[in-house]
A and B are shown apart, each in its own frame.
Chain A
Amino acid sequence: MPVSAEPTSVDPRHEQSAHANATEELRPHAEDAFAAELAALAAQDDRPRPARWKLSPWAVATYLQGGTLPDGTVITPKYVGPRRIVEVAVTTLATDRALLLLGVPGTAKTWVSEHLAAAVSGNSTLLVQGTAGTPEEAIRYGWNYARLLAHGPSREALVPSPVMRAMAEGMTARVEELTRIPADVQDTLITILSEKNLPIPELGQEVQAVRGFNLIATANDRDRGVNELSSALRRRFNTVVLPLPESADAEVDIVSRRVDQIGRSLDLPAVPDGVDEIRRVVTVFRELRDGVTSDGRTKLKSPSGTLSTAEAISVVTSGLALAAHFGDGVLRASDVAAGILGAVVRDPAADRVVWQEYLEAVVRERDGWKDFYRACREVSA
């Protein structure tokens, strides 16, 4: 499932030995969690595989989209969404172009990139987490200073980055949140992606990428305060935009499933029958996001916020907490109203007008939404 708000794993130096007792881990890597599926796919995969790929492109696509193998093994779908997206992504990796997954938060970018790396290279841990403080060393290489001082510059004193290791071993490297990385650091990727080598001037050497190396980056196109990719870098990527869930039902399904998981892990008391309210939250989010009502008849202004599925999940979760601790135990309109207002009105001037218009023009007229309208009026006033 493209379950949103998947926590990003920051664990670049993950040691293989740690997999010994995978069940103890809070969150096992994709290649461990789905090892059986990957093995079954590999066993029955008779199509040609690109160099150093664990599976053929067709098998990778099946791994992501789910399906049933000839011997009856069921492959669970990892990503529910347009087939086109998975196909373009896998095909891109099969050529020597890098893959850039774009999308608003909560569209399963990280999830897809992890599973792609796991299926293609059998290893999803060659990861650089992009932050505003990501240094060049995280992408190229660093030095073990004790060694450097003791023995002078040598390959032994060099600490390779995940990208460097991926190049040397012909694996898939991942860069998370590429646009958060400062622009000058981003640009170190240009040589790697175009020349496919990484010079080490201190040693007069270079690391050349072997066949099978590729890179998956994820980035967020709606956030503020991001560093736009330079066009030179952008040109090295094939871009795939991961869309928000296509239908309201799919989104409701994702939200309620995820809310359920979070609720259990937070030990919230069980609140029965919140589906109607969840559907309402999802409807509001979708309508404002798409700028059109769900019946497709009225256009709306869209607020400045992203209104992603992840935010819908947090609105419902906090609504559940309200209902459980302060309400009568049933998720009601008043429990989610404040959360929705907070998610929609990010810019106090412009977004408030958008929200008011939406309330008056759409919500007020809608059958069975009276309680919701009243609750929203109360918190908006």
Chain B
Amino acid sequence: MTEGERRTGPLLLGVRHHGPGSARAVRAALAAARPAVVLIEGPPEADALVPLAADEDMRPPVALLAHAVDEPGRSAFWPLAEFSPEWVAIRWALEHGVPARFIDLPATHTLAWESDSGGESEGQGDDEGEGEGNDGCPPESDAVRGPAPADTDPDTVPDADLRVDPLAVLARTGGYDDPERWWEDVVEHRGAGEGDAFAPFEVLDEAMGALREVYGTGGHERDPVREAYMRLQVRAAQREFGDAAVAVVCGAWHVPALRQKTAVAADRALLKGLPKVKVDVTWVPWTHRRLARASGYGAGIDSPGWYGHLFGARDRPVERWMTKVAGLLRDEDRMVSSAHVIEAVRLADTLAAMRGRPLPGLTETTDAVRAVMCEGSDVPLALVHDRLVVGDVLGEVPESAPAVPLQRDLTRLQRRLRLKPEALERELELDLRKETDAGRSRLLHRLRLLGIGWGEPAASRGSTGTFRETWRLRWEPELAVRVAEAGVWGTTVLSAATARAEADAVGAGSLADVTALAERCLLAELADALPVVMRVLADRAALDADVGHLAQALPALVRSLRYGDVRGTDTGALAEVAAGLAERVFVGLPPACAALDREAAEEMRRHVDAVHGAVGLLGEAVAPNPAPAGTAGAGETADGVSVGAAAENPARASEPGAALGSGTAPTSPSSASGAPASAAEDVPEPGHHSELRRRWHSVLRVLSARDSVAGVVRGRAVRLLLDDGELAQDEAAVLMGLVLSPGTAPGDAAAWIEGFVGGGSGGGMLLVHDERLLGLVDAWLTGVPAEAFTDVLPLLRRTFSVYEPGVRRTLGELVRRGPEQRGSAVAGAAGLPGFAPDLDARRADAVLPVLRLLLGPLGAGDGGVDDNNLVGVGT
């Protein structure tokens, strides 16, 4: 109590949140003053949690989390690192058996404020990840965002009325252009001073006083209320412990206000009638990375690792830092010798001298590390930044800390959706057209994303509709632990799943992983995570040089797009990415198809098929407008179903197409049902859609014409073009004749045939129906020289053996009958008993009125399609 004479009031320690220099100064000041109580800026609801800070299992960085009981999404964090002055004060108090209390305005008010200004409750869930959520609640802004005196946002300084940055003003006065650097030089880089432990606080106090005289509250409108509350608390503590036995640790900005003499009544008046909300407080683990995040709940400090080092290093911080850096680089197999460390320290010192700084700061050490240890390269430097300057430190919280809000949110959702956690396994059928079921599906998908495997999707029995989902549910006790673990991602299931999905996307290993994640995001309806996932997806796609990967990713993406349509989510971004992906495939495919061995060519053929299907789907999926969300029951369903049906068809288009024996076939079912419905609203879309198809067709043309492309791929390309009606029959015949002519190596020709008529793409039906093609194949086969025939035989056998036995027999019969009789044989042999070789015009006409009724008025020129439809119906 030797300071009693010097000080008249409480010991006010103004600090910069998360400043190691401040922390060190606070420790020294507390040790010198030995107060009987320590008051700290923070939510008083957390008083009961203070003793946990002394728990053995408590490791900073941690954060105090206050959240509204009914709405876990409404929450605020007070992150504390090892080097935070507040943390140091708490620890000092606990070590010396002195009570520590939080004196900021209770979170019960601040969170209620937030709801006044912050919009409805759903919106709060997603303020994780964006600064806006916090901007709505100035009271937290300095607790959450770091330096209280400075809002660390030098860019927003000029508007002094709105949000003054006092540090910037002080720094400018001191001739610095960067306020952070000024603070570092003046305060943080002070070693453990031997001088007066209180001197720095007095000086700072004076400076802040001068600033507040000019700027008032500097735009933090709620500061007067908070400061009134703090003053009342300080007074209460003074009454209890004596005038000078009280120490207050708060943001330097508040010190002048706390020193101010105001009437108790005036302070009480300010606090009257504040809104209230029921609040729970707990400790949650925090990470250095989150401290470094400039927005959201980050504290906005760029270099927690460096600060931690400054705080922890006994002496010679630069030398120790360089040794750490060298150690890290050596672990990563970079050759860094002690000589490097010496030179780096020398360079940092000289740089600091040249820049007129008392000690090398982070800028100087980084410059020195770059020039000496990293050979001027920023790549290893990024590693240093990531591992050391920011750091991997993960906080821990003892088990005895109260439950996380995520668990509460989950309980609430379970109640609302009438989905009880049961240990017994049971199956759950969901009809996504119903609102409750859709909500259940969303919840289960979100939990799965969070690694909480309560439900596993199972194969639907019976119905294959896209609006059905089957889940197998089983609640295991350890899932509660998973929920607690997932608590670091957010306070509600939605916000946690969103944050998790975003993190997963950024860290995903391969393009396919990201695509799968996009699919899951759609299923879980994480609209906010989707942009991030899409950006990652687009980036990965752009950098992935393997067309195979791209071609694999495309179908899944297109599938997602279709799902999004069924569920009424906005998939504009997805469509854009898918189109971009398709574009990249188009560009990359032709060069990738050259110089392939058999297996690679076969794989490439599958890719071509997949892309073909996807391009078809993409056109369909892009075309219809996104259906209105959730509410429009029947209308939406009908739309969804019809789109689903339409979209499904092109995937199988080749089959019916082949069966119909005509190049125009694939347009029949989908365009008949889908086009009239959507034609009205999407005038520009067909252009884009057909543009995509047109480009894909031109790629196929390139493939089919290029000799260096593997035969099987070339054949496939011709076939796909033929199916789409892009290639006339006679053109195809010419191409085939060219390939099958004696100039071509037999192996190549056989591969071409395999690609053209081969496996999994409709069997040999095309050959059965197109006698000219059959004639070409036949003529080529009979023309193969005897010695080459044995080479070709295995390939041909492979092609033909996968055909249905009936098809094979029919082919055989056709060949045996010879060319002149085939015309009549087609219908009879094609497995359509009871059909005459020619169309029975009278009976066909009888169906037409019904068809017209079904399809609506048909335009001119659809006659040919009609014919095909008839046959299609027959099959």
Contacts and interface: CB of A to CB of B under 8 A. Distances in A.
B588 interface: yes
B337 A299 contact: no
Interface stretch (B110-118, B290-298, B349-357): B349-357
A349 B591 contact: yes
A234 B374 CA distance: 11
Interface stretch (A24-32, A200-208, A235-243): A235-243
A299 B543 contact: yes
A90 interface: yes
Q: Taking chain B's interface residues, is the majority helix, strand, or loop, or is none over half, making it mixed?
A: helix
Contacts of B340: 235
Contact of A241 (B377, B545, B580, B587): B377
B609 interface: no
Contacts of A291: 543
Interface string B356-390: 00000001000110111011111000000000000
Contact of B346 (A84, A90, A95, A235): A95
Interface stretch (A127-135, A167-175, A248-256, A350-358): A350-358
Contacts of A350: 545
B354 A91 contact: yes
B392 interface: no
A231 B545 CA distance: 33
A58 B350 CA distance: 12
B587 A357 contact: yes
Interface in A86-102: 87-88, 90-92, 94-95, 97, 100, 102
B448 interface: no
B347 interface: yes
Contact of B355 (A87, A100, A102, A239): A87
Given A102-B376, A298-B542, A301-B542, A88 B347 contact: yes
B376 A240 contact: yes
Contacts of A300: 542
Contacts of B545: 301, 350, 353
B350 A301 contact: no
A360 to B, nearest CB: 5
Nearest to A302: B543
A33 interface: no
B335 A241 contact: no
A238 B347 contact: yes
B549 interface: no
Contacts of B335: 231
B357 to A, nearest CB: 12
Most buried by A among B339, B376, B535, B588: B376
Interface string A96-113: 010010100000000000
Given A97-B347, A299-B538, A353-B591, A92 B371 contact: yes
Contacts of A100: 376
B354 A361 contact: no
Contacts of B371: 88, 92, 238-240
Interface in A342-381: 349-350, 352-353, 356-357, 360-361
Contacts of B355: 87
B583 interface: yes
Contacts of A84: 363, 367
A109 to B, nearest CB: 12
Given A88-B347, A239-B371, A357 B584 contact: yes
A160 interface: no
Most buried by A among B355, B371, B586: B371
A58 B343 contact: no
B539 interface: yes
A360 B347 contact: no
B98 to A, nearest CB: 46
Interface string A274-312: 000000000000000001000001111100000000000
Contacts of A162: none
Given A87-B354, A356-B587, A299 B347 contact: no
Nearest to B544: A301
B41 to A, nearest CB: 36
A92 B347 contact: yes
A352 B591 CA distance: 10
B584 A361 contact: yes
A241 B367 CA distance: 11
Given A301-B545, A357-B588, 16 more contacts: A61-B354, A84-B367, A88-B370, A94-B350, A95-B347, A95-B350, A97-B347, A97-B372, A100-B376, A241-B377, A241-B378, A299-B542, A299-B543, A353-B588, A360-B587, A361-B580
24 contacts: A84-B363, A84-B367, A87-B367, A88-B368, A88-B371, A91-B351, A92-B371, A94-B354, A95-B347, A100-B376, A231-B335, A239-B370, A239-B371, A239-B372, A298-B542, A299-B542, A300-B542, A353-B588, A356-B587, A357-B542, A357-B584, A357-B587, A361-B583, A361-B584
Interface of B: 335, 337, 339-340, 343, 346-347, 350-351, 354-355, 363, 367-368, 370-372, 374-378, 535, 538-539, 542-543, 545, 580, 583-584, 586-588, 591
Give the top 9 A-B pairs by smallest Cβ distance, nearest first.
A239-B376, A241-B376, A299-B542, A299-B539, A238-B371, A356-B587, A239-B375, A91-B350, A357-B587
